[in-house]
């Protein structure tokens, strides 16, 4: 399996038979094998998690499935008001498709989308006879988080499900946030997560690590990837120096956009 960090909360996972693209915001998507299925997941409509440019992928690759939080439905309706589709710039298309767009800007149809409500289950055929099982959790901010099971492995992408306490927020609000986050984490308690993508947001100042530390204490996480830090890559080193990671967890330090990792396919080692 290959994992590529794009930007902020955006990651591309390449399996033997398919690709998963999470919360694309910006950053170069590498060229993909058009014979494989591509699943595009978006957790909610905030601009740093959902970019309509992902619809250009359906113009380039024949086997694309869009799986969005139901919270994005209204935003997609607005995009599709023009029957000709949405207008994307040449730069947007080049960025998400990995090569220049001939002819500049284009109208791109809004394709069929599978919208998922929170705390629901879905089953996605991978295009090669396999199945991807999807469960959604309620975000503590907006939309959902994804818990996916495929080929004997479990992958968690938090979206904006996080322990969001902020400097200056009232004590009552911070208590409610803690309770809401812990309630959602009950679903993951005691489970093994082969991959977890979860926020480390430096804007939270001294509370930046609350969510990740709680997750790693509740679940057995084999590989954790921090996200939601924009250009502040130093937050990875800060976390490692202040807290480290549990013995069973490999913390993947991110230092640049486009950084990739190759992980063993053996589910006992991933």
pLDDT of residue 99: 66
Indicate the number of domains in the chain: 1
Query: Smallest Cα–Cα separation from 252: which of 202, 195, 214?
Result: 195
Residue 270 lies in a domain: no
Residue 269 lies in a domain: no
CA dist 211 → 17, 117, 182 (Å):
32, 23, 9
Range of the domain at 239: 2-262
Residue 267 lies in a domain: no
Tell me the pLDDT tens digit for each residue of 196-207.
999 999 999 999
Are 66 and 111 a contacting pair, CB within 8 Å? yes
Residue 209 lies in a domain: yes
Q: How confident is the model at residue 98 (pLDDT cuts 50, 70, 90)?
A: confident
Tell me the pLDDT tens digit for each residue of 119-156.
999 999 999 999 999 999 999 999 999 999 999 999 99
Residue 268 lies in a domain: no
Residue 225 lies in a domain: yes
Q: pTM above 0.85?
A: yes
Q: Does residue 102 carry a pLDDT above 70?
A: no
141 Cα distance to chain centroid: 15
Share of the chain above pLDDT 90, in %: 82
Q: How confident is the model at residue 167 (pLDDT cuts 50, 70, 90)?
A: confident
User: Domain of 108: which CATH number?
Assistant: 3.60.15.10
* Distance, first Cα to last Cα, the chain: 9
Q: Residue 214 and residue 226: Cα distance in Å, rounded?
A: 14
| Cα dihedral 151→199→252→125 (10° resolution) | 20
Residue 197 lies in a domain: yes
Residue 215 lies in a domain: yes
């Amino acid at each position: 399996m290959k994992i590529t960090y794009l930007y902020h909360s955006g990651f591309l996972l390449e399996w033997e038979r398919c690709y998963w693209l999470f919360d694309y915001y910006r950053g170069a998507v590498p060229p993909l094998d058009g014979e494989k299925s591509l699943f595009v997941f978006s957790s909610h409509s905030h601009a740093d998690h959902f970019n309509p440019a992902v619809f250009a992928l359906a113009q380039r690759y024949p086997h694309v499935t869009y799986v969005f939080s139901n919270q994005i439905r209204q935003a997609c309706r607005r995009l599709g008001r023009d029957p000709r589709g949405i207008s994307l710039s040449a730069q947007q298309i080049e960025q998400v498709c990995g090569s220049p767009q001939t002819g500049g800007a284009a109208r791109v149809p809004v394709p069929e989308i599978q919208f998922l409500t929170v705390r629901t289950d879905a089953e996605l055929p991978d295009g090669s006879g396999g199945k991807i099982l999807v469960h959604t959790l309620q975000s503590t901010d907006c939309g959902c988080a994804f818990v996916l099971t495929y080929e004997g492995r479990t992958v968690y992408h938090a979206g904006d499900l996080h322990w969001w306490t902020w400097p200056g927020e009232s004590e009552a609000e911070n208590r409610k946030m803690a309770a809401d986050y812990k309630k959602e984490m009950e679903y993951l308690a005691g489970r093994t997560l082969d991959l977890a993508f979860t926020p480390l947001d430096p804007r939270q100042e001294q509370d930046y690590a609350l969510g990740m530390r709680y997750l790693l204490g509740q679940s057995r996480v084999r590989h954790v990837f921090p996200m939601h830090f924009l250009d502040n890559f130093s937050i990875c080193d800060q976390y490692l120096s202040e807290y480290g990671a549990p013995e069973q967890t490999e913390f993947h330090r991110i230092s640049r956009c486009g950084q990739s990792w190759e992980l063993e396919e053996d589910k006992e080692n991933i």
